[in-house]
Amino acid sequence: ILLLVSAGAVSLLLQINGVNRVKQENLVQQQRSETSSIIRDLEVGFFSKYRDFLIGLAESQFIAEAFPSDIDSVNQALDIALKSTNAEIAYVLDVKGICRASIGEGQLASQMVGESYEFRPYFTQAMQDNQYVGFASGVTTGRIGVYFSAPLHSESGIVGVLVLKAAPAYLSRTLQAKQLPYALVTKNNVVIAGNREEWLYSGLYPLTEMLLERLSQTRQYEGLQLTSKGILPAGFNPQENGSVSVYMQPLSVMGWKLVSIADPHTDAFLYPQQRGFFIKSSVFLLLIILTATALFVTYYTRSSLKTDLRKLYAAVEQSPETVLMTDTKGRIEYVNSSFERLTGYSSSEALGKTPALFKSGHHDREFYKRLWDTISSGKKWKGEIYNSRKDGSLYWESVLISPVKDEQGHTISYVAFKDDITEQKVRQEAVNHRARVDGLTQVLNRRSGLEVLYRSIAQCASNGSNVTVGFVDVNGLKVVNDTFGHAAGDALIKSVSNGIKQHIRESDSLARLGGDEFLIILPGCTRARAEAIWKKIEEAFAGGIEEGGETYNVSASVGFSELSELNDHSELDIESIPRELIRMADERMYHRKQLMKSK
């Protein structure tokens, strides 16, 4: 008995160690997955959006040719930039750093005209013919923001600097949507956004007094309460400081990085299926110990053996889990009361049958072959099975099957522990649906749409096929919102979404990027074919859209880009190709929208 207790204690310690190890592995996997997802959202939805538009506008020569002689034309271009990107302020500096034109919210933008910004890094970098992205507090406006700058060229050289200032709210919203702690850190190791309020304007590691003094002298953080404390201790080493799990990944923005810091010991990182498995393993271990104990005391008293066996039988019979035993050929030899309640079959109906009695047709032959190959080799099998009850209703169950062996190690039977997880699967499916689908239009949301695009491009790379991407912008939504209210605007967005879905294939995908912007993903389709499909959509929109008794005369602009157009861009990596396709489609959509306005 002492040996059995010792073995049980050792098994329990191993079980606890296994739980902690699984928690840590789950956390690291979740950190890697969520960090990559956040970076894709930030790169495509924020940094690439502003940076690509700024570069395109700077290289278009329109502002460079109009500046500084025609300030009205420059202001018109800046106004277009403001509306296209939702930037806070757009302005142009001359070669001395003096603001000559500025467009933005309220009177703050006009107050910038005539002010000098020659000390700003975004000006000095652009004058060195470099593009710049940085975080700073506005000298004139007093508002924090992310600054994007690019030089304006003419035949004589650099004639000025184009600047877009974006509010950092998108960065904070993206991080606050996550449960794990995240911080966005600049190249100076200063936290500028995160979902932990106490981290803001702290350092990744404690900031030295010398660095704080230098940062204050650059005026980049003027008016902000920088603190020397760090969210990680100085000289932090994940191998030595194992109390927290830290995962960092760089962005493409001038040395910025995304940092995740979490405690790996919380039960939140143990999934329900894993928790159920450890519980089942513990129950199975207890049953083995009880069985071994009962056999051991047989040497002393047969009466005690009978008593213990009755207790063991009662424990199994009254267990809330379904217990099923078969012989080595799979014929059922025993089921407990929970089995009858779960499946609807009585013990007399099940005995002598095989588990094929419960097949629902959901799993293929290869699934059952792998299961039997595992247990017939003497190993345990755990997984989820979709089965059918006697009345034909379907249910999901979590299953642990273990071979029962004799003293020589030969398998003499199999015992299965089952748990009904149907309700859990339904909840999980609902959560997954909400996470993937846009709540208004019921099409894919931005994140899911980008994931589909990444998978489509990867599939094209493996089989040599093609994919076309469409960037759609609804025209006239602002007029509907201003005239009839946002409820009518939402109804209009839903109608446009439904109109597009009616004309694309089931294999195609439609995602709402946000506001009135949509992304169409057309695998195996050329750009010419996509244009033909869009003509049908435009014809459907030609008579207006009826919603709530009103007819809205609206239209939508689209731009298409084709993967085969990037064959000559060998310098693009797999992460950059989706952004480039979206940028090309967005640019063509913008040109088409301008052409429609001119007509």
Residue 485 has pLDDT above 90, yes or no: no
Among 36, 74, 42, smallest CA distance to 58 is for 74
Least confident of 24-33, 295-304, 488-497, 543-552: 295-304
Residue 202 has pLDDT above 60, yes or no: yes
**Cα gap 496→515, rounded to integer Å:** 12
pLDDT at 536: 87
pLDDT at 599: 67
Mean pLDDT for 442-470 is 88
For residue 502, how many C-alpha atoms fall within 13 Å in the half-sphere facing its CB? 12
Residue 298 has pLDDT above 80, yes or no: no
* pLDDT tens per residue across span 340-374: 888 889 888 888 999 988 888 888 989 999 999 99
DSSP 52: H
Specify which residues 473 forms β-bridges with: 517, 557
- Calculate what percentage of the chain has a pLDDT beyond 90: 23
Tokens (6 digits) for 568: 């000559």
Specify which residues 324 forms β-bridges with: 335, 416
Mean pLDDT for 461-465 is 81
How many angstroms separate the first and last alpha carbons of the chain? 93
Residues 6+ apart with CB under 8 A from 96: 116, 118
DSSP 178: -
Confidence of residue 511 (pLDDT cuts 50, 70, 90): very high
Mean pLDDT for 28-46 is 85
Specify which residues 183 forms β-bridges with: 194, 259
Least confident of 102-111, 298-307, 370-379: 298-307
CB of 120 closer than 8 Å to CB of 138? no
Q: What is the DSSP string of 265-324?
A: TSGGGS-HHHHHHHHHHHHHHHHHHHHHHHHHGGGT-HHHHHHHHHHHHHHHHT-SSEEE
Helices (H), 412-522: 422-436, 446-463, 477-484, 486-501
* pLDDT tens per residue across span 414-444: 999 888 888 887 787 777 777 788 888 889 9
Other C-beta atoms closer than 10 Å to the C-beta of 554 total 18
CB of 210 closer than 8 Å to CB of 130? no
Number of H-type helices and E-type strands within the chain: 19, 20
Strand 509-514 relative to strand 517-523, pairing:
antiparallel
CB of 450 closer than 8 Å to CB of 533? no
Higher pLDDT among residues 385 and 488, named by residue = 385
For residue 361, count CB atoms less than 10 angstroms from its CB and return exposed for 0-12, middle for 13-18, buried for 19 or more: exposed
Tokens (6 digits) for 215: 């940062």
Least confident of 151-160, 410-419, 485-494, 572-581: 572-581
* pLDDT tens per residue across span 258-290: 998 887 766 655 556 656 665 666 666 666 666
Specify which residues 533 forms β-bridges with: none
How far, in Å, are 317, 318, 438 from residue 313 at the CA level?
6, 8, 52
Give residue 254's identity as a one-letter amino acid code.
M
**Cα gap 353→480, rounded to integer Å:** 66
Other C-beta atoms closer than 10 Å to the C-beta of 215 total 18
Residues 6+ apart with CB under 8 A from 8: 285, 289
- Calculate what percentage of the chain has a pLDDT beyond 70: 85
Higher pLDDT among residues 141 and 283, named by residue = 141
How far, in Å, are 35, 169, 182, 491 from residue 174 at the CA level?
11, 9, 10, 26
* pLDDT tens per residue across span 234-250: 767 655 555 688 888 89
Q: What are phi and psi for residue 237, nearest 5 degrees?
A: -130, 115
Residue 67 has pLDDT above 80, yes or no: yes
Residue 406 has pLDDT above 70, yes or no: yes
Higher pLDDT among residues 255 and 217, named by residue = 255
Output the average pLDDT for the chain: 83
**Cα gap 321→421, rounded to integer Å:** 11
Residues 6+ apart with CB under 8 A from 554: 474, 475, 476, 477, 480, 492, 496, 541, 544, 545
